Amino acid sequence: MTKKEHAEHHFKAPELVRDIVIGMSDGLTVPFALAAGLSGSVSGTNLVVIAGMAEIAAGSIAMGLGGYLAARTDREHYMNELEREHKEIIEVPEREKEEVADALKQWGLPAEVIESSVKAISADAGRWVDFMMKHELGLEEPDPKRARNSSLTIGLSYIVGGLIPLSPYVFIQNSNTALLVSVVVTLIALFIFGFVKGKFTGSKPFKSAGQTTLVGGLAAGAAFLIAKLIS
């Protein structure tokens, strides 16, 4: 009898999806709120489109810059901790060995196994520091290109998301009609976006779609009400 080969399927791009979610969700709600707020004060859609495009440009830059700075901060934090661990295994090696042992004890290993493991890990400085970074501090080395990739992904996702609720105003001249179409298009986009997100992250697609539509719809509705009160 042939043994069935076990294939494990793990999602390997959580940071990419997180960036897309951040950019797309804000892009779907903020430009929609701006366009909806302006719809009540103008009859045509030219002003709405111009203001919406300006907001998408400014919003994508701001969101992208935020993603860049966040990723840079993560990497700087990692490098500072890495430097500190390198110093500590030289200056206070016995204390660092005790921390290795403490980490191994949490795995329920026998004392003799812990002792031999500590010796093996501490015999190589690189392996020792790597163990401390991962199992004492819970840090993984960030991708050096993470800041650039994050800023581009968030910024582009914001643009794509923003163009969806704004597109009806480009093709429809009556602002009230364009608003109704924009609401429908935005809700459909939120549902599809949530479904695809669920597929990629391994959660239930329809549950993810429902949650995304509900949360995004509530956020867009709240932003719309605020925009209407201000205008």
Residues of the chain with pLDDT under 70: 1-13, 40, 201-202, 220, 223-224, 227-228, 231
In a domain, 55, yes or no: yes
The pLDDT assigned to 12 comes to: 52
Is residue 3 a part of any domain in this protein? no
Q: SS3 breakdown of the chain: % helix, strand, coil, rounded to 5?
A: 80, 0, 20
> Does the residue 143 lie in any domain?
no
pLDDT at residue 222, as a whole number: 76
170 in a structural domain = yes
Predicted local confidence at residue 163, as pLDDT: 94
Question: What pLDDT, on the 0 to 100 scale, is given for residue 62?
Answer: 94
Q: Does the residue 33 lie in any domain? A: yes
Tens digits of residue pLDDT in 33-92: 888 777 767 777 888 899 999 999 999 999 999 999 999 999 999 999 999 999 988 888
Is position 204 within any domain? Answer: yes
Location of structure tokens 């294939």: 7
Residue 27, amino acid:
G
* Confidence (pLDDT) at 6: 45
Boundaries of domain holding 60: 14-71+159-230
Give the number of domains in the chain.
1
State how far the Cα of 76 lies from the Cα of 6, in Å rounded to an integer: 39
The pair of three-digit structure tokens given for residue 214, joined into one six-digit string: 């509900």
Per-residue pLDDT, 166: 92
